[in-house]
Structure 1
């Protein structure tokens, strides 16, 4: 394990509503899960901190509504967080809380440092662009203007994710769910980002398709040594992919550690339920 994390997340908070004196205490009798019965505020992400190391896969697991996808959207700048800090260990960003950067600087991070694969491919792809056009668009956004380089790289990526090149001019709207996810993965990797976010990427796919997408992700990680944050409600997915894991419930981290350790000896009652549902 490397000494220095590539990504540090500190005290991330996201709330919908103003909040009130009754609901900022996590033990408050006025909180039902993460909802304040006095003022109606939803505390979607509550004081979440973690580190991601180079070449590591970090799993974030929790039921629907636990805050894991909201947190990922905040990290990728799809939505703003209420408070907290995120630091990226890249020379040009050292010591800067990237959440407080300008929209131009955030765009740079999205183009060069982050890759994102969404649960719903509609959020990550232009369905009426060709598959190769989707990948090219991401490269052009990052300043690449050499057409032959763009075409060569795009073809290489499509082959890597097992999309036949005879179909590269086809639009993703005509592809199966599994193929759409693979095009999304190719697009996310187009500028060689050191950090890749994956949000529920196998949800809604047939089991055999799920397996091929997970195999592809493992292969990419093995070959590129890319750091990944994998969000899922499915512990089987986390077990297959993640070195370390965080368990979230009602916006909070309730357990974290090595994935094997969490699966073999879960400490929190909720994690125990998750693990036993796997058996």
Structure 2
């Protein structure tokens, strides 16, 4: 397989459970579960055997209701949580041959700082609200080993300009910014080391509609200019329709349907996806 056909990220059978499990819920098909919860022992199966690939320059959408496991899966990918089991391979890391979940915490830090960026639903998870905006970007550059103050300043200004933060506000702290501007600073920070993969988790939730639209436009233009691969998680099919090339639909910790976004919107197969699509119309 030549490099252009290799996925940037390949994920195999991610499982994440909270609790030990018991005789009632450990069966391969999860027959004893109520949705993704075991009523006998209280174990929650947040992610169940999730597998997918993301290709170069592609936006993969993941849609599902609250509690479907999509944000947990993103946390596992960014090492905010440990997986219970599963594999993930990044093409630009050790030739794409090493399961990154089994790497040391030092190597995971390297992957987070160089090969991935993440934009959280809540900017507090990523930004230091009292630092200047440019200081927040410098922090990510420093954790990737950059020590040149001049270079970091230039890079920070370039990125903030790229996400439409005016020059005169670059030294201002994000706590003074609106929600939409905080998301823009987060996006700039996540892009600072040119990662091949960007993870975006519910980035428009809680924003006004006009602000949502401008953040989505920004994401689309970044993807076009930088040809970066992205995974976008949302409970809003409208967001996924606007951005994603392919889409996975999640319910109760499992992928229940996947395909080209247009195909899923025009001809949804699963009852849950049909309901989602109807709610869009």
Scaled to the shorter chain, the TM-score interval is over 0.9
Q: CA deviation at 1:31?
A: 1.0
1:21-100 equivalences under 5 Å are: 21-25=23-27, 27-90=29-92, 92-100=94-102
When the two structures are superposed, what TM-score results if normalisation uses the length of structure 2?
A: 0.97
2-structure distance, mates of 1:196, 1:233: 18
Is 1:8 matched with 2:10? yes
Q: Is residue 2:105 matched to residue 1:114?
A: no
Distance 1:93 1:235 in 2: 35
Change (3 A) 1:141 1:67: same
The yes-or-no answer on 1:226 pairing with 2:228 is yes
C-alpha displacement of 1:30: 2.6
- Secondary structure at the aligned position of 2:5 is classed as coil
Question: What's the C-alpha RMSD, in Å, of the aligned pairs?
Answer: 1.2
Aligned mates of 1:91, 1:114 — CA distance in 2: 11
- Tell me how far apart the structure 2 counterparts of residues 2 and 238 of structure 1 sit (CA, whole Å): 25
Change (3 A) 1:198 1:186: same
What is the TM-score of this pair, normalised by structure 1?
Answer: 0.98
Structure 2 match to 1:159: 161
Q: Aligned partners of 1:25 and 1:236: how far apart in 2?
A: 36
Task: Report how many aligned residue pairs link the two structures.
Answer: 279
Cα distance in 1 between the residues matched to 2:265 and 2:186:
30
Q: Aligned equivalents of 2:28 and 2:256: distance in 1?
A: 12
Provide Cα deviations, 1:22-80, integer angstroms capped at 9, x if missing partner: 11336555311000111110000000000000110000000000000000000000010
Using the alignment, how far apart are the partners of 1:258 and 1:186 within structure 2? 28
1:197-247 superposed Cα distances (whole Å, 9 cap, x missing partner):
000000000000000000000000000000000000000000000000000
Supply the distance in 2 between the matched residues of 1:128 and 1:91 (Cα, whole angstroms): 34
1:188 is matched with: 190
Partner SS, residue 35 of structure 1: coil
Q: Distance in 1 between matches of 2:203 and 2:69?
A: 16
Q: Residue in 2 aligned with 1:123?
A: 125
2:44 & 2:138 partners in 1: Cα distance?
Answer: 39
The counterpart of 1:250, out of the listed 249, 252, 255, is: 252
